Amino acid sequence: MSITINMKKYIILSVAALLAACGGKTDGEAAAQLAPKPVFRVKYIDTAALQGLALEQPENGQDEAGKPVADYLIADMEQPNHIRLTGKHSNDLEAISGKCLEAGKTDWQAQSVCRTLFEQLVANIAEDADKLSDYLIGHAGLQPQQSGSGYAAVQNGRYVLELDSEGRFTFRRRHY
């Protein structure tokens, strides 16, 4: 009888130790922390990804490598808040990148200009935009704000969508 009680204690303690070792998370909870697999709706990166975004008229120029760029200021915001299209071919760009942080704020609160802009961009290029946006914003350290350098990315096939804790984001081809 004491062996049976000792076995039960051993099993209970073993299960508790295993849960503590894996952070107390079940397989379902651990899987929820994994990056969602995006389904990108775009075949090529182009200006259609900017549909509905509150942007000023573009300024065309070249980047440091001599590649053509179009820089769009974000409406009602000052530099360095912008979106940049990079690439020679307007119907098959290399990347859409940008930076957005509101003055005096360090994170992207719900309904903020930056969060709304990013969520609309994601909705223009991918399915399950809410899930992708929430994952990226949370893991990049933008909501809630986390000190240090945060970074999050999702990828599938030929495209990568990235975001960091300083409000920089990029939608690009994996290998251009």
DSSP code per residue over 30-82: HHHTSPP---B--SS--GGGGTT--B---EEEE-TTS-EEEEEEBTT--TT-E
Mean per-residue pLDDT of the chain: 84
Query: Do 120 and 86 lie in a common domain?
Result: yes
Q: Closest Cα partner for 74 from 66, 84, 65?
A: 84
Query: Do 15 and 80 lie in a common domain?
Result: no
* pLDDT more than 70, % of the chain: 77
Q: Could you tell me if 72 and 82 are in contact, meaning their C-beta atoms sit under 8 angstroms apart?
A: yes
Residue 134: exposed, middle, or buried by beta-carbon count in 10 A (0-12, 13-18, 19+)? middle
Summarised one tens digit per residue, pLDDT across range 140-163 is 888 766 665 689 999 998 999 999
Mean pLDDT of 21-33: 46
Query: Do 90 and 110 lie in a common domain?
Result: yes
Q: Could you tell me if 137 and 143 are in contact, meaning their C-beta atoms sit under 8 angstroms apart?
A: yes
**pLDDT for position 2:** 55
**pLDDT for position 105:** 74
Can you say how many angstroms the Cα of residue 125 is from the centroid of all Cα atoms in its chain? 13
The three-point CA angle 63-67-71 to 5° equals 55
Query: Do 2 and 46 lie in a common domain?
Result: no
Domain count, the chain: 2
Does residue 27 surpass a pLDDT of 60? no
**pLDDT for position 12:** 62
Query: Do 24 and 105 lie in a common domain?
Result: no
Query: Do 108 and 153 lie in a common domain?
Result: yes
Does residue 170 surpass a pLDDT of 80? yes
Does residue 59 surpass a pLDDT of 70? yes
The half-sphere exposure of 8 on its side-chain side, counting CA atoms within 13 A, is 5
pTM confidence score: 0.78
Neighbours of 133 (CB within 10 A): 21
pLDDT band at 29 (very low <50, low <70, confident <90, very high): very low
User: How far apart, in whole angstroms, are the C-alpha atoms of residue 94 and residue 158?
Assistant: 11
Which residue range(s) make up the domain with 21?
1-29
| DSSP letter (8 states) at residue 126 | B
